[in-house]
Amino acid sequence: MKPWSGSLERVTLNLRAHQTARFVATAVSSSAVHKGNAFEERALLTLRDDLSMSLRRVGGKSDGGVDLTGWWWLPALGAPSPMPRVRRIRLFCQCKAEKKKTSPHYVREMEGVMHRFSVTGIPSHLDDEDACSAEHRQNAPSSTSAGPPVAVFVSESMFSKSALLHVVSSPVPFVLLHLPPVENHTDADGPDEPPCPIGSVVFNPALSRLLGEDAEIRWEFDGTHATHNCGRPGMWWRGKKLQSWVPSR
């Protein structure tokens, strides 16, 4: 054996180990990105269909801590039934698909984003006064903008107690939405079938004042397949279920 052959083998093994580690790291990173994108899409559809919010994805390095931005379409305060005027409220949303509980760090981060926008103004790439929004407004001519922007935080994991307490005392109107991972359950309820994780929706006093006493947000169950029915968020207005008010495009 030549004297340098052992060194060459070690170099080759180290190079292969480095390439393998880099491949694994790239695969893990790609998987995390895919999971995050899928959760953002799930959050967008849930907020649109169940809470009457029209949102678009922002993403990218210049997102400023915002994943989704758009509008909340609701009946105007004090509007008469059955054809009340529409009001729209600016929304900024952040989504997190992590296993550990969502800590107050993330909530404070979102709170900082909202305060920054209130001082410096909304960045142009987050400003939805664009053609899409104009098209929405054309299909909802009686809509009016009202109130400060609302922060929406959607998490796949539960919110920690500290995060909830921080939001309750925050002057920023907040919605916290917990959407547990979607599990693959069988159609039949078995005795050993684990219960479906239940989500939740929480809003703080600042948002209650903005929405008014007629509007409320609930976590709903339809009463069927209780083991598999994880529920969903829902908007209620004057004690009745409120369907999506997002204007057709």
Please give the pLDDT value at position 23.
Answer: 47
What are the beta bridge partners of residue 200? Answer: 178
Flag the least confident range among 54-68, 152-166, 206-220: 54-68
Mean pLDDT of 142-166: 89
Mean pLDDT of 58-70: 78
CATH tag, 40-181+195-242: 3.40.91
d(CA 191, CA 176): 33
For 97, 109, 121, 138, 201, the CA distances from 170, given in Å and listed in that order, are 23, 12, 20, 35, 16
Please give the pLDDT value at position 183.
Answer: 67
Mean pLDDT of 70-94: 84
Residue 49: other Cβ atoms inside 10 A: 14
d(CA 210, CA 149): 10
Extract the tokens encoding 158: 């539960």
Flag the least confident range among 121-125, 181-185, 198-202: 181-185
Average pLDDT, the chain: 79
Domain boundaries, the chain: 40-181+195-242
Task: Read off the pTM.
Answer: 0.77
Mean pLDDT of 144-172: 93
